[in-house]
Structure 1
């Protein structure tokens, strides 16, 4: 944050800090307000003009929005919320304490309260929770001039909404759309129906918001129409909101892949605030659950080393390459699980053709990487420790063990998360600990097994 703003805040000069903040763009204001003390944030926010405050508020994170509404007090929050889109209020209310949220809803104007309650009736993961209602819809006989006037008078929450005019029939059934660029090129007395584009892609009001967001990625429009069961136009999903949904969905997958998701309530969103602030009970509980897998795996791997203790004692050079065999497989496994989690979150992995497409492709990738790493590391092992110590077979032992470790980790990095999805558990919510255990066990077993076989001549009688 700028030093000037920081200095003003430290010296209690809120008006001066506010002046510097409100001269910036709403996105920048939201970022800066998120970096300061909550009390100072509220003091500055309350000094902003309503229009500026709303624009800034809409660019804040969901948790920051809810926190700010709570700190305002019910009556002030209700007056401010009356200027917000219904879907924004609904998101904040769902994050606020139940009693505070109910009292805030009771203080809203009746029309706004009904709109928010309509949004809250839908599933929290549905597109209805993030769609906007400030859009322009006209019938086919509306003139271009009238449509442009509707756009001019629209109090849109974003420029994306003003870039498309949707067309409906007398029953509000969706017919198609006309872009702003098309309207600007058309004659003012032309009808919108004569310029109508094909219907294109649409989302169902009950559709999962992440699926709808990925659908919008495939269109050439900045907004996606949302229809009810009767194909009536009920709202729109904006591109900015869609990207936020995808980012949230991807972040959730990454948290769970890292072993900090909730294994029992696997459909709950893991919020970073709960993991990074407040009591330590929650993060300790959810992280220890998967670390126990690593602990058990480490003991199993220790058993492998103990079993081949005589081999290790006879050929001390074998110990040099143990970290290499273990760490290489771990890195490959982490790469694979991360690629799977992101690909599934972004819709690039189709579970219906997982084996014949994605797993086969990952197996080929693992095969290529395994061969390359095995040859390179085998040559290094031969010239570094093998030939100088008169044990040239060491290069083969290291190379084969690394190939098995890399190839196994690559396959498991895709296969284990897929298996978790199939049995009804979130994809990869702790796959890494299982992969680490399996690849360490198999990699070291092959490593010492081959060493005991190929280096038998170097063993004491």
Structure 2
């Protein structure tokens, strides 16, 4: 099997890249005893090596037509034909299928391995479930790097360990220009968001001058919005990767996450308000802090789900693009909510 080129930036691991030839395949017209003997010949001598305890059954053209487990073979009469116990409905993957999607497809099936076929339905290998787990872990690692604004190129390798080693090598040993190309683009987006948030603070400069203590709570409100938004984005991206979030349930998921954000805001906002009141002895400041925490948490949870979903719908990588956008929206909205409430306070006080 040819290795995919390492320089192909859009390369995605296929099932064929991670499959193995460690399996037993036999024709359907032999006896169970003959099939068992062939399986015993295949079994590894090293007891520490694992074996997939299934025999795959082929027709005269090597097309996959069934599967039988070793347990069923040992329980049936030796003279019976193998075809008498084989299961004809076999889950299989095409060799060009996306490996990450395959991992999601078998997540709930608990199969130790899945056969791999070519265009003619001929068996060309099997892909082990533990290998698919490695695929998921590698993709999760990549997504976490992208969430931090580090856009690593897609790498092709037949060994998932090689994939992670290559990604690590890129991050540690790349030239300065390559490192900047990977990390800077979305940091520029985040920088623009920071300037926008600073502009919001400038607009409400008079409010800050009237009630200076309000400045103390700005990082508290923004940090809480950031934490809630990051949690929501991480939950969403993991849900999409694992196939738990799709078009059929995304509206319900967004509604639930927004409700969670509201509850978090109520709980954390109450704590912050109590601290503000005990420190300053001013109920009005405590009300402003409480309202800002609740509103910011709701918005952060909503955009933490909604923005990655919109990015996903337009065919972009939500892990790479959504985090700076979510950060900007939750920062600006959090400041608008906070200073909006603070301005009402200033008007009420007649300062």
2:96 counterpart of 1:201: no
Q: What residue number does 1:126 align with? A: 14
Bigger drift between 401-410 and 451-460 goes to: 451-460
1:282 aligns with 2:178: yes
Other-structure match for 1:223: 113
Q: What is the 5 A alignment of 1:16-165?
A: 86=1, 90-91=2-3, 94-95=5-6, 125-154=13-42, 161-165=51-55
Name the CA distance, whole Å, in 2 between partners of 1:289 and 1:177: 50
| 2:339 matched residue in structure 1 | 448
Candidates 38, 55, 70, aligned match of 1:180: 70
1:332 aligns with 2:223: no
Shift of 1:325: 0.5
For 1:399, the equivalent position in structure 2 comes to: 290
Contact 1:416–1:428 (CA under 8 A) maintained in structure 2: no
Selected match of 2:102 from 209, 212, 217 = 212
What CA distance in whole angstroms lies between the structure 2 residues aligned with 1:445 and 1:253? 31
Q: TM-score, normalising length from structure 1?
A: 0.67
Q: What is the CA–CA distance in structure 2 between the aligned matches of 1:400 and 1:267, rounded to whole Å?
A: 47
Deviation larger for 201-210 or 401-410: 201-210
Q: Answer yes or no: is 1:426 the counterpart of 2:317.
A: yes
Structure with higher RCO (Cα < 8 A, 6+ apart): 2
**Aligned residues, how many?**
339
Q: Bigger radius of gyration, 1 or 2?
A: 1
Cα contact 1:164–1:178 (8 A) shared by 2: yes
In structure 2, stretches of 5+ residues that fail to align are 157-162
Q: Is the 8 A contact 1:138 1:168 kept in 2?
A: yes
Change (3 A) 1:129 1:294: same
Q: Which runs of 5+ in 1 are unaligned?
A: 1-85, 99-122
Given that 2:259 and 2:298 are in contact with CA atoms closer than 8 Å, whether structure 1 keeps it comes out as no
Q: Sort the Cα spacing of 1:331 and 1:162 in 2 relative to 1 into closer, same or farther, 3 A.
A: closer
Which of 415, 419, 434 is the equivalent residue of 2:306?
Answer: 415
Aligned residue in 2 for 1:169: 59
Evaluate the alpha carbon distance shift between residue 219 and residue 165 of structure 1 in structure 2; reply closer, same or farther with a 3 A threshold: same
Runs of 4+ that moved beyond 3 A: 155-162, 265-270, 457-460
Cα distance in 2 between the residues matched to 1:124 and 1:383: 56
Structure 2 SS opposite 1:271:
helix
Aligned residues of 2:262 and 2:295 also touching (Cα < 8 A): no
Distance 1:177 1:273 in 2: 42
* Cross-structure match for 1:347: 243
CA RMSD of aligned residues (A): 2.7
Aligned partner of 2:191 in structure 1 is: 295
Q: Are residues 133 and 365 of structure 1, via their aligned partners in 2, closer, same or farther at CA, if it must alter by over 3 Å?
A: same
Instruction: Provide the rounded CA distance (Å) in 2 between the counterparts of 1:179 and 1:420.
Output: 44
Describe the shift of the 1:223–1:266 C-alpha distance in structure 2 as closer, same or farther (beyond 3 A): closer
Measured in 1, the distance between the counterparts of 2:154 and 2:94 equals 25
Contact 1:132 1:237 in 2 (8 A): yes
Contact (CA 8 Å) 1:138, 1:147: kept in 2 or not? yes
1:306 is paired with a residue whose SS is helix
Paired residues of 1:253 and 1:345 also in contact (CA < 8 A): no
1:4-15 equivalences under 5 Å are: none
Structure 2-normalised TM-score? Answer: 0.87
Q: Secondary structure at the match of 1:132?
A: coil
Once the two structures are TM-superposed, the CA of residue 382 in structure 1 deviates from its matched residue by 2.5
Q: CA deviation at 1:155?
A: 6.9
- Separation of aligned partners in 2, 1:292 and 1:159: 50
Aligned to 1:116: none
- Tell me what 1:22 maps to: none
